[in-house]
Structure 1
Amino acid sequence: MAQDLFEAARAAMARAHAPYSHFPVGAALRDGAGGIHAGCNVENASYPEGWCAETTALGRFVMAGGGQITEIAVVAQKMARIMPCGGCRQRLAEFAAPDARLHLCDATGVVETVAFADIFPRGFGLERPA
Protein backbone atom coordinates (compact mmCIF):
# COMPACT_ATOMS: atom_id res chain seq x y z
CA MET A 1 0.00 0.00 0.00
CA ALA A 2 3.02 2.31 0.29
CA GLN A 3 3.34 2.43 -3.51
CA ASP A 4 0.68 5.13 -3.90
CA LEU A 5 2.32 7.20 -1.18
CA PHE A 6 5.72 6.84 -2.87
CA GLU A 7 4.24 7.86 -6.23
CA ALA A 8 2.69 10.97 -4.68
CA ALA A 9 6.03 11.88 -3.07
CA ARG A 10 7.90 11.29 -6.32
CA ALA A 11 5.41 13.44 -8.27
CA ALA A 12 5.81 16.20 -5.67
CA MET A 13 9.61 15.93 -5.92
CA ALA A 14 9.31 16.69 -9.65
CA ARG A 15 7.72 20.04 -8.71
CA ALA A 16 10.46 21.05 -6.24
CA HIS A 17 11.92 24.54 -6.44
CA ALA A 18 15.57 23.80 -5.69
CA PRO A 19 17.66 26.18 -7.85
CA TYR A 20 20.31 26.66 -5.14
CA SER A 21 20.96 23.19 -3.75
CA HIS A 22 19.84 21.25 -6.85
CA PHE A 23 18.51 18.72 -4.32
CA PRO A 24 14.78 18.14 -5.02
CA VAL A 25 12.82 16.33 -2.32
CA GLY A 26 9.24 15.09 -2.19
CA ALA A 27 7.16 13.94 0.75
CA ALA A 28 3.70 12.47 1.10
CA LEU A 29 1.61 11.88 4.21
CA ARG A 30 -1.35 9.56 4.65
CA ASP A 31 -4.02 10.63 7.11
CA GLY A 32 -6.25 8.37 9.19
CA ALA A 33 -8.98 8.47 6.54
CA GLY A 34 -6.56 7.37 3.81
CA GLY A 35 -6.11 10.82 2.24
CA ILE A 36 -2.72 11.64 0.75
CA HIS A 37 -1.09 15.06 1.15
CA ALA A 38 2.11 15.65 -0.82
CA GLY A 39 4.65 18.44 -0.94
CA CYS A 40 8.07 19.43 -2.25
CA ASN A 41 10.91 21.54 -0.97
CA VAL A 42 10.81 25.22 -1.90
CA GLU A 43 14.10 27.07 -1.69
CA ASN A 44 14.65 30.81 -1.43
CA ALA A 45 17.66 32.96 -2.27
CA SER A 46 17.68 34.10 1.35
CA TYR A 47 18.91 30.92 3.02
CA PRO A 48 17.51 29.40 5.22
CA GLU A 49 14.11 30.90 4.45
CA GLY A 50 12.98 28.04 2.22
CA TRP A 51 11.12 25.03 3.51
CA CYS A 52 11.30 21.28 3.35
CA ALA A 53 9.02 18.91 1.43
CA GLU A 54 7.59 17.58 4.71
CA THR A 55 6.62 21.12 5.73
CA THR A 56 4.76 21.66 2.45
CA ALA A 57 2.97 18.32 2.85
CA LEU A 58 2.06 19.19 6.46
CA GLY A 59 0.55 22.49 5.35
CA ARG A 60 -1.63 20.68 2.84
CA PHE A 61 -2.55 18.06 5.46
CA VAL A 62 -3.63 20.72 7.98
CA MET A 63 -5.58 22.67 5.35
CA ALA A 64 -7.44 19.46 4.44
CA GLY A 65 -8.57 19.02 8.03
CA GLY A 66 -5.56 17.45 9.73
CA GLY A 67 -6.10 14.53 12.05
CA GLN A 68 -3.44 11.93 12.55
CA ILE A 69 -0.68 10.86 10.17
CA THR A 70 -0.43 7.10 9.71
CA GLU A 71 2.25 6.92 7.01
CA ILE A 72 4.99 9.13 5.61
CA ALA A 73 7.07 8.71 2.46
CA VAL A 74 10.12 10.82 1.65
CA VAL A 75 12.12 10.67 -1.58
CA ALA A 76 15.09 12.60 -2.94
CA GLN A 77 16.39 12.36 -6.46
CA LYS A 78 20.03 12.26 -5.37
CA MET A 79 19.92 10.28 -2.11
CA ALA A 80 18.49 6.90 -1.19
CA ARG A 81 16.83 6.58 2.21
CA ILE A 82 16.46 10.32 2.69
CA MET A 83 15.53 11.02 6.29
CA PRO A 84 13.44 13.98 7.49
CA CYS A 85 15.63 16.67 9.05
CA GLY A 86 15.39 17.37 12.78
CA GLY A 87 13.00 20.27 12.36
CA CYS A 88 10.67 18.20 10.19
CA ARG A 89 10.80 15.31 12.64
CA GLN A 90 9.50 17.68 15.30
CA ARG A 91 6.83 19.07 12.96
CA LEU A 92 5.73 15.56 11.97
CA ALA A 93 5.64 14.48 15.63
CA GLU A 94 2.84 16.98 16.19
CA PHE A 95 0.55 14.78 14.08
CA ALA A 96 2.19 11.35 13.64
CA ALA A 97 1.56 8.49 16.02
CA PRO A 98 4.71 6.78 17.33
CA ASP A 99 3.79 3.70 15.25
CA ALA A 100 3.26 5.70 12.04
CA ARG A 101 5.25 4.08 9.24
CA LEU A 102 8.02 6.13 7.65
CA HIS A 103 8.96 4.91 4.18
CA LEU A 104 12.49 5.84 3.15
CA CYS A 105 12.67 5.85 -0.63
CA ASP A 106 15.05 6.09 -3.53
CA ALA A 107 14.01 7.18 -7.03
CA THR A 108 12.46 3.76 -7.78
CA GLY A 109 10.48 3.01 -4.62
CA VAL A 110 10.47 2.21 -0.92
CA VAL A 111 13.87 1.03 0.30
CA GLU A 112 13.17 0.74 4.03
CA THR A 113 10.24 1.22 6.39
CA VAL A 114 10.64 2.20 10.04
CA ALA A 115 8.34 3.30 12.85
CA PHE A 116 8.32 7.06 13.36
CA ALA A 117 9.25 6.57 17.04
CA ASP A 118 12.46 4.85 15.92
CA ILE A 119 13.74 8.05 14.29
CA PHE A 120 12.35 10.48 16.86
CA PRO A 121 12.02 8.70 20.21
CA ARG A 122 12.07 11.67 22.57
CA GLY A 123 10.67 14.62 20.68
CA PHE A 124 9.58 17.76 22.43
CA GLY A 125 5.87 17.69 23.34
CA LEU A 126 3.39 19.25 25.65
CA GLU A 127 2.38 17.30 28.71
CA ARG A 128 -1.31 16.65 28.30
CA PRO A 129 -3.51 15.82 31.25
CA ALA A 130 -5.02 12.35 31.27
Structure 2
Amino acid sequence: MHKEQLIESAKQMLDHAYVPYSKFPVGAALITDEGKVYQGCNIENAAYPVTCCAERTAIFKAVSEGERNFKALAVIANTDRPVPPCGACRQVMSEFFSPEMKVYITSKDLEVKEVTVQELLPFSFTPEDLSSGQTK
Protein backbone atom coordinates (compact mmCIF):
# COMPACT_ATOMS: atom_id res chain seq x y z
CA MET A 1 0.00 0.00 0.00
CA HIS A 2 1.34 3.41 -0.96
CA LYS A 3 1.43 6.43 1.36
CA GLU A 4 -1.42 8.07 -0.59
CA GLN A 5 -3.65 5.01 -0.12
CA LEU A 6 -2.96 4.94 3.61
CA ILE A 7 -3.83 8.63 3.86
CA GLU A 8 -7.06 8.02 1.91
CA SER A 9 -7.91 5.21 4.32
CA ALA A 10 -7.44 7.65 7.21
CA LYS A 11 -9.53 10.29 5.44
CA GLN A 12 -12.46 7.84 5.15
CA MET A 13 -12.62 7.76 8.93
CA LEU A 14 -13.37 11.48 9.27
CA ASP A 15 -17.05 10.75 8.65
CA HIS A 16 -17.10 8.17 11.44
CA ALA A 17 -15.64 10.45 14.11
CA TYR A 18 -17.90 11.06 17.12
CA VAL A 19 -17.16 14.71 17.87
CA PRO A 20 -20.30 16.41 19.25
CA TYR A 21 -18.25 18.69 21.54
CA SER A 22 -15.15 19.78 19.65
CA LYS A 23 -16.52 19.37 16.12
CA PHE A 24 -12.91 18.37 15.27
CA PRO A 25 -12.93 15.03 13.40
CA VAL A 26 -9.67 13.14 13.04
CA GLY A 27 -9.03 9.96 11.07
CA ALA A 28 -6.15 7.51 11.27
CA ALA A 29 -5.00 4.41 9.41
CA LEU A 30 -2.28 2.05 10.60
CA ILE A 31 -0.67 -0.56 8.38
CA THR A 32 1.06 -3.65 9.70
CA ASP A 33 4.21 -5.18 8.25
CA GLU A 34 1.95 -7.80 6.62
CA GLY A 35 -0.20 -5.12 4.92
CA LYS A 36 -3.31 -5.24 7.11
CA VAL A 37 -4.87 -1.83 7.73
CA TYR A 38 -6.55 -0.75 10.96
CA GLN A 39 -8.57 2.45 10.84
CA GLY A 40 -9.56 4.72 13.69
CA CYS A 41 -11.38 7.95 14.41
CA ASN A 42 -11.62 10.11 17.48
CA ILE A 43 -14.45 9.29 19.88
CA GLU A 44 -15.40 12.00 22.34
CA ASN A 45 -17.19 11.75 25.65
CA ALA A 46 -18.98 14.31 27.79
CA ALA A 47 -16.34 13.53 30.42
CA TYR A 48 -13.53 14.93 28.26
CA PRO A 49 -10.58 13.04 29.77
CA VAL A 50 -11.96 9.68 28.60
CA THR A 51 -12.05 10.76 24.96
CA CYS A 52 -9.97 8.55 22.65
CA CYS A 53 -8.04 10.00 19.73
CA ALA A 54 -8.07 8.50 16.24
CA GLU A 55 -4.46 7.39 16.47
CA ARG A 56 -4.98 5.48 19.71
CA THR A 57 -8.22 3.97 18.42
CA ALA A 58 -6.39 2.50 15.40
CA ILE A 59 -3.43 1.35 17.50
CA PHE A 60 -5.60 -0.25 20.19
CA LYS A 61 -7.73 -2.03 17.56
CA ALA A 62 -4.61 -3.52 16.01
CA VAL A 63 -2.98 -4.47 19.30
CA SER A 64 -6.22 -6.00 20.62
CA GLU A 65 -6.20 -8.30 17.59
CA GLY A 66 -2.65 -9.45 18.28
CA GLU A 67 -0.70 -7.18 15.94
CA ARG A 68 2.70 -5.99 17.12
CA ASN A 69 4.63 -5.17 13.93
CA PHE A 70 3.74 -1.94 12.18
CA LYS A 71 4.93 -0.22 9.04
CA ALA A 72 3.34 3.27 8.98
CA LEU A 73 0.55 5.44 10.39
CA ALA A 74 -1.39 8.18 8.61
CA VAL A 75 -3.35 10.86 10.47
CA ILE A 76 -5.60 13.52 8.92
CA ALA A 77 -7.84 16.35 10.11
CA ASN A 78 -9.54 19.37 8.60
CA THR A 79 -6.63 21.58 9.65
CA ASP A 80 -4.66 24.22 7.77
CA ARG A 81 -1.37 22.50 8.61
CA PRO A 82 -0.60 18.77 8.92
CA VAL A 83 -2.29 17.72 12.16
CA PRO A 84 0.15 16.97 14.98
CA PRO A 85 -0.72 14.04 17.30
CA CYS A 86 -1.33 14.89 20.96
CA GLY A 87 1.15 13.92 23.66
CA ALA A 88 -0.85 10.88 24.80
CA CYS A 89 -0.88 9.49 21.27
CA ARG A 90 2.83 10.12 20.89
CA GLN A 91 3.53 8.14 24.06
CA VAL A 92 1.35 5.24 22.86
CA MET A 93 3.19 5.32 19.53
CA SER A 94 6.51 5.06 21.35
CA GLU A 95 5.21 1.97 23.17
CA PHE A 96 4.20 0.05 20.04
CA PHE A 97 6.19 1.50 17.14
CA SER A 98 9.89 1.52 16.36
CA PRO A 99 11.55 4.94 16.66
CA GLU A 100 12.15 4.92 12.87
CA MET A 101 8.53 4.16 11.88
CA LYS A 102 6.99 6.69 9.51
CA VAL A 103 4.00 8.79 10.54
CA TYR A 104 2.24 10.80 7.83
CA ILE A 105 0.48 13.80 9.34
CA THR A 106 -1.92 15.43 6.90
CA SER A 107 -3.99 18.61 6.50
CA LYS A 108 -7.40 19.23 4.91
CA ASP A 109 -5.61 20.20 1.67
CA LEU A 110 -3.66 16.92 1.75
CA GLU A 111 -0.41 18.62 2.68
CA VAL A 112 1.64 15.77 4.15
CA LYS A 113 4.53 15.97 6.57
CA GLU A 114 6.44 12.72 6.96
CA VAL A 115 7.98 12.28 10.40
CA THR A 116 9.28 9.42 12.49
CA VAL A 117 8.09 8.40 15.93
CA GLN A 118 11.49 9.54 17.25
CA GLU A 119 10.93 13.00 15.77
CA LEU A 120 7.45 13.20 17.31
CA LEU A 121 8.63 12.19 20.77
CA PRO A 122 12.38 12.42 21.29
CA PHE A 123 13.78 10.90 24.48
CA SER A 124 10.53 9.03 25.12
CA PHE A 125 9.83 6.86 28.17
CA THR A 126 9.93 3.22 27.02
CA PRO A 127 9.34 -0.25 28.47
CA GLU A 128 13.11 -0.58 28.80
CA ASP A 129 13.08 2.32 31.27
CA LEU A 130 10.79 0.33 33.56
CA SER A 131 13.11 -2.64 33.77
CA SER A 132 16.23 -0.52 34.19
CA GLY A 133 14.68 1.36 37.09
CA GLN A 134 13.63 -1.69 39.12
CA THR A 135 15.41 -2.42 42.37
CA LYS A 136 16.67 -5.90 43.11
Q: TM-score, normalised by structure 1?
A: 0.90
Q: Which has the higher helix share?
A: 2
Match of 1:50 in 2: 51
User: What are structure 2's unaligned runs of at least 5 residues?
Assistant: none
Match of 1:81 in 2: 82
User: What are structure 1's unaligned runs of at least 5 residues?
Assistant: none
* CA shift digits 1:43-78 (9 cap, x unpaired): 011112211001110121113321122211110123
Could you list the structure 1 runs, at least 4 aligned residues long, displaced by more than 6 angstroms after superposition.
Answer: none
Query: Aligned partners of 2:111 and 2:118: how far apart in 1?
Result: 19
Q: Which has the higher strand share?
A: 1
* CA shift digits 1:4-61 (9 cap, x unpaired): 1111111112100001000000111111111111100000111122110011101211
Larger radius of gyration: 2
Match of 1:94 in 2: 95
Match of 1:33 in 2: 34
Q: 1:110 to 1:2 in 2, by over 3 A?
A: farther
- Aligned Cα RMSD in Å? 1.6
Match of 1:63 in 2: 64
**Partners of 1:2 and 1:110 within 8 A in 2:** no
**Partners of 1:39 and 1:54 within 8 A in 2:** yes
Match of 1:119 in 2: 120
Secondary structure of the corresponding residue to residue 99 of structure 2: strand
Q: 1:52 to 1:63 in 2, by over 3 A?
A: same
**Partners of 1:42 and 1:53 within 8 A in 2:** yes
**Aligned-pair distance for 1:96?**
0.8
**Aligned-pair distance for 1:126?**
2.1
Q: Across the two proteins, how many residue pairs are aligned to each other?
A: 129
